[in-house]
């Protein structure tokens, strides 16, 4: 019992690498990227799924999922009820959840 307590306390006292220490430890993680959906398609990404939903406000929110080998990117847009204004959000790349 005491031996395992010493081992555990030693492991807890060890410093973690900076990247691991600063990253969240769970959940899906999406990181913004500078590429647009147009850029990604020209780089060889393929459209793999589309999800559209109507929000309470009347907006239509559409999420496009693009993939290439093991890489997954999502791009989103929202269309106002009147159809006059579209908001385009930055594309995001899925990072490996831990």
**How many structural domains does the chain have?**
1
What is residue 73's predicted lDDT score, i.e. its pLDDT? 96
pLDDT at 3 over 70: no
What is residue 83's predicted lDDT score, i.e. its pLDDT? 75
Contact indicator for 92, 65 with CB cutoff of 8 Å? no
Structural domain boundaries enclosing 56 = 26-95
Q: What is the mean pLDDT of the chain?
A: 78
Between these two residues, 21 and 41, which has the higher pLDDT value? Answer: 41
The mean per-residue pLDDT over the stretch 40-48 comes to: 96
Q: Is 83 left (phi over 0), alpha (psi -120 to 50) or beta?
A: left
Residue 14 lies in a domain: no
Contact indicator for 90, 39 with CB cutoff of 8 Å? no
In terms of C-beta density within 10 A (0-12 exposed, 13-18 middle, 19 or more buried), how is residue 91 classed? buried
The mean per-residue pLDDT over the stretch 32-57 comes to: 94
> DSSP strand E in the chain: where?
29-32, 46-54, 60-68, 71-79, 86-88, 92-95
């Amino acid at each position: 019992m005491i031996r395992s307590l010493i081992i555990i306390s030693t492991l807890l006292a060890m410093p973690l690498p900076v990247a691991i220490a600063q990253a969240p430890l769970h959940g899906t993680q999406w990181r913004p990227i500078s590429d647009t959906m147009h850029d990604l398609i020209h780089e060889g990404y393929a459209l793999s799924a589309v999800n559209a939903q109507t929000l309470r406000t009347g907006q239509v929110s559409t999420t496009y999922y693009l993939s290439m080998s093991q890489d997954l990117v999502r791009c989103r847009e929202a269309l106002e009820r009147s159809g006059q204004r579209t908001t385009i959000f930055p594309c995001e790349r899925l990072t490996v959840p831990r």
